[in-house]
Chain A
Amino acid sequence: MLIKTNAQGFVHPVPSEITSRAAYQSRRDLIRLMATGVAGAALSSWAAREAFAQSWTPPGQQAALSRGKTAVSGALSMEKVTAYKDASTYNNFYEFGTDKADPARNAHTLKTSPWTVEIEGLIKRPGRYALEDLLKLSAQEERIYRLRCVEGWSMVIPWVGYSLSELIKKVEPLGSAKYVEFVTLADPKTMPGVGSRVLDWPYVEGLRLDEAMHPLALLAFGMYGEVLPKQSGAPLRLVVPWKYGFKSGKSLVKIRFTDKQPATAWNKAAANEYGFYSNVNPNVDHPRWSQATERRIGEDGLFTKKRKTLLFNGYEAQVGQLYAGMDLKKYF
């Protein structure tokens, strides 16, 4: 471990090396005190803002969801977490409308209990799994991931969940299983957008089995230390941080293991614009716009230039080997 390479990704400190909260806080207090004394009110408010840049508290909007630390490499971004208000009011969830403010307005009709997920296809243990059992299937962890939307904006979100691989191991895929298909809820009674012809409902997404088995692929039940708000895909959703956001299906009702590449919703709508892989890639533009840059929601001011987008959304060290030898321009 003396020579650190990219392959190791983000190296985590051992718990004993982590600064205690009290010590961290007192240092911050000292900085703020100095700022107040030395540079006056203007600088002090700036220092205070910087001091709290990385901290966030559960917003108190949903039921708390207890979670532990993660041991997965690269799963804790050190970037500033997006404000909960932005993350919960600026959503693409077309089942509740195409405007990004629609889901927060309309998703209250979604019934998340009782909830079951049908797991079927090329596995040894198919069946209907109740949400309560899925919640307890593996230890819930906090993961702070970057989220890059195909539209050119991004956020940093603290999710709660466990690696999708934990579930996959439990249901024991057969040797013939090559892909995983995720089917999301399409209930015209509670979802006003399902009546529209924008997409072919239900919304279907998919991953190659080895992608789905990657420890960063997360089955999420919560965010910001609480259960998912409905507009963010309650009660459970997928989060694949190195792919564009639309690959991460919300409000999952079915997970199917197949030997054929699933026909995914956006790919069916416009195959030349949305590929099956849809890995975040600044070098492969969307046919109608550049993917080289992105706007970080809540952080980049009105006059700030957009920031550069990173290959695999910055998770290249962790997931790059999944695509070794593949032409990423062809398999976009």
Chain B
Amino acid sequence: MQRGEGKAAKPLVFSVALLPFFYLLWAAVFDQLGANPAEALVRSTGDWTLRMLCVVLAVTPLRVLTGYAALARFRRMLGLFVYFYAVLHLLSYSGFDMAFDVADIARDIAKRPFILVGFTAFVLLTSLALTSFNRAIKAMGAKNWQRLHKAVYVVAGLAILHFFWMRAGKNDFAEVAVYAAVLAALLGWRLWRYLAKVAGSGKRSSRI
């Protein structure tokens, strides 16, 4: 990749990742969200969190499979976009659905445990977002940092459970299945690679 090309790519990816946000903002202001705008905002911010999560988890497999090492540079930014849409999702729920009433939210969580699953994923994502800058990596040490950031796999599991549980009420799992398949493929690829590595090193050591 040329240096100049790389410079243009980051702002471009940044802008594209912001498009859903600006679309939702436009639709909310001009009343294009249908009969129940609050519900539409809560659901679409959740959808976009999940989509961003799929995108960021696709970076490493794509980099390895295509050999296009420069892709790694987008990982942090895309990860922060997952967090950005997760924050919007949480704000939409607590603001538009619950009018920021903490007692109501507590009662709602007791009634609907899937909200607790989503919130747990949000807390994990917060710890990843807070340690996403270079100085945090230095302070923590690369090993610890990497260990912490593996929590994104847990987030993926919690996110799909959150979505599955939410749709269980309508017995409607078609959409959940699509996201589950994508995430399973992305995580499965990592597992397969890890197992291959373990087996490979095992063989080598037996030869020695």
**Chain A contacts to B: CB under 8 angstroms:** 85-86, 89-90, 98, 100-101, 153, 196-199, 269, 285, 288-290, 295, 297-298, 302-306
B38 near A295 (CB under 8 angstroms)? yes
Partner of A288 from the list B37, B38, B112, B172 (CB cut-off 8 Å) is: B112
Contact status B111-A302, CB under 8 Å: no
A298-B39 Cα distance, complex, nearest whole Å: 12
Interface of A is mostly: loop
Given contacts A295-B38, A298-B35, contact A289 B112 (CB under 8 A): yes
- B25 interfacial contact with A, CB 8 Å: no
A289-B108, A290-B111 are contacts. A297–B169 as well, Cβ < 8 Å? no
**Which A residues are CB-close (under 8 A) to B101?**
305
Tell me the chain B residues, 108-148 only, with Cβ under 8 Å from chain A. Answer: 108, 111-112
In angstroms, how far is the closest chain B Cβ from the Cβ of A194?
14
CB of B90 within 8 A of chain A?
A: no
- Contact (A285, B111) CB under 8 Å given A86-B35, A302-B37: yes
Contacts of B38 in A (CB 8 A): 295, 302
Give the distance in Å from the alpha carbon of A199 to the alpha carbon of B96 in the complex.
Answer: 31
Q: Are A98 and B170 in contact (CB under 8 A)?
A: yes
Closest residue on chain B to residue A306 by CB atoms: B99
In the complex, 25 of the A-B residue pairs with CB atoms within 8 angstroms, ordered by the A residue number, are A85-B35, A90-B34, A90-B35, A90-B36, A100-B34, A100-B35, A153-B39, A196-B172, A198-B172, A199-B171, A288-B112, A288-B169, A289-B108, A289-B111, A289-B112, A290-B107, A290-B111, A295-B38, A297-B35, A297-B36, A302-B37, A302-B41, A303-B96, A305-B99, A305-B101
| B180 on interface, CB distance cutoff 8 Å | no
Using Cβ atoms and an 8 Å threshold, which residues of chain B touch A197?
171
Collect the chain B residues with CB atoms within 8 Å of residue A306's CB: 99
Q: Does B188 contact A (CB under 8 A)?
A: no
Shortest 3 CB-CB contacts between residues of A and residues of B: A90-B35, A86-B35, A305-B99
Bound CA–CA A295/B171 (angstroms)? 23
Contacts of A89 in B (CB 8 A): 34-35
Contacts of A100 in B (CB 8 A): 34-36
12 new A-B contacts at CB < 8 Å, known A289-B112, A303-B95 = A86-B35, A89-B34, A100-B34, A153-B36, A290-B107, A295-B36, A295-B38, A302-B38, A302-B41, A302-B96, A303-B99, A304-B99
- Check: B176 CB closer than 8 A to any chain A CB: no
Which residues on the A side are within 8 Å of B28 (C-beta)?
Answer: 302
Q: What is the chain A residue whose CB lies nearest that of B113?
A: A288
User: A90 CA to B198 CA in the complex, in Å?
Assistant: 54
Chain B 17-40 near chain A by CB (<8 Å), digits 1 or 0: 000000000001000001111110
Interface set, chain B 168-187, CB cutoff 8 A to A: 169-172
Report Cα–Cα, A198/B107, bound state, in Å: 29
Chain B 31-73 per-residue mask, 1 if CB under 8 angstroms from chain A, else 0: 0001111110100000000000000000000000000000000
- Are A98 and B172 in touch, CB under 8 angstroms? yes
- Docked Cα-Cα span, A196 to B175, in Å, equals 14
Residue of A nearest to B110 (CB): A290
* Closest Cβ neighbor of A90 among chain B residues: B35
In the complex the two chains form, what is the Cα distance from A230 to B193 in whole Å? 53
Complex CA gap A76/B74 in Å reads: 60
Please state if B99 and A288 are interface contacts (CB–CB under 8 Å): no
Residues of A within 8 A of B172 (CB): 98, 196, 198
Tell me the bound Cα distance from A24 to B169 in angstroms. Answer: 47
Asked whether A198 lies within 8 Å of B34 as measured between CB atoms, the reply is no
Provide the residues of chain A in CB contact with B108, threshold 8 Å: 289-290
Report A-chain residues with C-beta under 8 Å of the C-beta of B99: 303-306
Determine how close the nearest CB of chain A comes to the CB of B105; give it in whole angstroms.
Answer: 11
Q: Which residues of chain A come closer than 8 Å to B37, judged between CB atoms?
A: 302
B37: nearest residue on chain A (CB-CB)?
A302
Q: Once the chains are docked, how many angstroms separate the CA of A210 from the CA of B14?
A: 63
Of all chain A residues, the one with the shortest Cβ separation from B38 is A302
From the candidates B35, B36, B171, name the one contacting A269 in the complex (CB within 8 A): B171
- Measured in the bound complex, the distance between the Cα atoms of B169 and A297 in whole Å is 21
Q: How far is the CA of A290 from the CA of B41 in the complex (A)?
A: 20
> What residues on A are CB-neighbors of B111 within 8 Å?
285, 288-290
A303: which B residues are within 8 A, CB to CB? 95-96, 99
A199 to B36, CA, bound (A): 25
Most A CB contacts (10 A, CB to CB) among B38, B41, B107 go to B38
Alpha-carbon gap, A305 to B95, bound state (A): 9
Structural contact, B170 and A198, CB atoms closer than 8 A: yes
Q: Which residue of B lies closest to A97 (CB)?
A: B172
Rounded to whole angstroms, the CA-CA distance of A196 and B167 in the bound complex is 15
Contacts of A298 in B (CB 8 A): 35
